Amino acid sequence: MKVLVINGPNLSRLDIRDSSIYGDMSYPQLEAHIRSAAESNGFIADVRQSDDEATIIGWLHEAADSNTPVIINPAAFTHYSYAIRDAAELVKAPLIEVHLSNPLAREEFRHTSVISGVANGTIGGFGPNSYSLALTALKTLIS
């Protein structure tokens, strides 16, 4: 089964972001990690990244229309994009929010997620393993 994995703004530049927060993996390495974790859980991951809100909304519409499960790291959009929240709400297959860091342990503006309320659940703080844990959870949700 296919899973759409959406990564939001600035995640493509993990190589130059604060490694004490986001770890040492580059974005291509993160994508490879996600693909391999998906395969171990019986999924084929379609992994995408965009810095653009409209593009992410379009991908969520695609998932809604094709009833595809979604794992999404909305990055900074997590904290204020009602448009992404409304698009995520259209997805009737499971949708899991993930974060590399633990936003609740960081600056106050990161304590709010406008996405969590329309996700099946949120996993954050485990680095790339947040995605592996989400894939395991997705497998259980689907079976």
Binding residues vs ligand DQA (CB under 6 A): 10, 73, 75-76, 78, 99-101, 103, 110
Indicate if 80 belongs to the active site. Answer: no
User: CA 112 to CA 116: how far, in whole Å?
Assistant: 9
Beta carbon nearer to ligand DQA, 23 or 69: 23
Beta carbon nearer to ligand DQA, 85 or 99: 99
Question: Residue 37: CB partners within 8 Å, gap ≥ 6?
Answer: 45, 131, 132, 135
Q: Token match 């986001």: residue?
A: 22
DSSP 1: -
Closest CA to 59 of 100, 9, 5: 5
Closest CA to 26 of 12, 45, 5, 6: 12
Question: Minimum distance between the CB of residue 55 and ligand DQA, rounded to whole angstroms?
Answer: 16
Question: Minimum distance between the CB of residue 90 and ligand DQA, rounded to whole angstroms?
Answer: 21
Question: Minimum distance between the CB of residue 106 and ligand DQA, rounded to whole angstroms?
Answer: 7
Beta carbon nearer to ligand DQA, 14 or 91: 14
Beta carbon nearer to ligand DQA, 10 or 136: 10
Q: Which of 22, 33, 79, 80 is catalytic?
A: 22
List strand residue ranges (DSSP E) for the chain, in order: 2-7, 44-49, 70-73, 95-99, 121-124
Active site residues: 22, 99
